[in-house]
Structure 1
Amino acid sequence: MLEIKERKVNDIIILDLKGKITIGEGDKQLREKITSLLEKGEKKIILNMARVSYLDSSGTGEVVSLLMKVKKAGGELKLLSLSQKIKDIFQIAQLLSIFDYYTDEEEALKAFE
């Protein structure tokens, strides 16, 4: 089960994620959440992944697909607090370079300016 808590700082949405992003588990929840934010006109989104315990290949694909979806809608998606394990997964898949990712929330928020 993936828990998604939404916070708003100015015009930026921060999604605090907790749990697993895997096939049939967190991937669908995350997709639905991002889709509903885009439908409401929210285009600045940060995924706080500090408490994501596991990400499988399907979850990785979903995060990449959401990045493309947000960009297509004219928005920006940034990642926050990637664990070393998740960073390694993105590195191995050669995906780290397509993401803006930050270790500090303040930095991630400033990156939208």
Structure 2
Amino acid sequence: MIRIEHRTIGDVHLLDIEGRLTIGEGTAGFREAIHRVIQLGGRRLVLNLAGVTHMDSSGIGELVSAYTTMSNLGGRVKLLHVPPRIREVLTITKLATVFESFEDEAAAIGSFS
């Protein structure tokens, strides 16, 4: 199961994600949350992955899809509090070089300026 909380600070949208970002409910819920941000006009997005316990290839695919969709709209996606296990997956797949990641929320938000 996945739980996603949507917050905004200024014009930056933050999604606090908890649970498994895996095929099925996890990726479907994540995709819906991304589409909600886009429908609200959000183009600056921080994904807080602190509570993500597991991510499979579908979860990675959804991260890439979010990045691509937002980039195509002139927006940006950044990662916050990436757990070591998820960071390892991003490094192995070379996605660690694609996503800018932060350990401090204020720094992540400020990086859009």
- Is residue 47 from structure 1 mapped to residue 47 from structure 2 by the alignment? yes
Q: In the alignment, residue 9 of structure 2 is paired with which amino acid? A: V
**What is the SS of the residue equivalent to 1:14?**
strand
What corresponds to 2:62 in structure 1?
62
What TM-score do the two structures reach when normalised by structure 1? 0.96
Is 1:93 the counterpart of 2:82? The answer is: no
Rounded to whole Å, the distance in 2 between the matches of 1:96 and 1:8 is 25
Q: Aligned with 2:94: secondary structure?
A: coil
SS, match of residue 46 in structure 1 = strand
Could you say what the CA RMSD is over the residues aligned between the two structures, in angstroms?
A: 0.8
The alignment's TM-score, normalised by the length of structure 2, stands at 0.96
Shift of 1:25: 2.3
| Identity of matched residues, % | 36
Cα deviation, residue 103, structure 1: 0.8
- Please list every run of 5 or more consecutive structure 2 residues that lacks an aligned counterpart in the other structure: none
1:18, 1:60 → 2: CA distance?
15
Corresponding residue number in structure 2 for 1:80:
80
Partner Cα distance (1:75, 1:15) in 2? 15
Q: Aligned AA for 1:103?
A: E
CA deviations on 1:2-38 (whole Å, 9 max, x unpaired) are: 1001111111111110001001121111111111211
Distance 1:25 1:88 in 2: 23
Output the CA distance in 1 between the equivalents of 2:37 and 2:83: 25
Q: Which residue of 1 aligns with 2:15?
A: 15
Count matched residues: 113
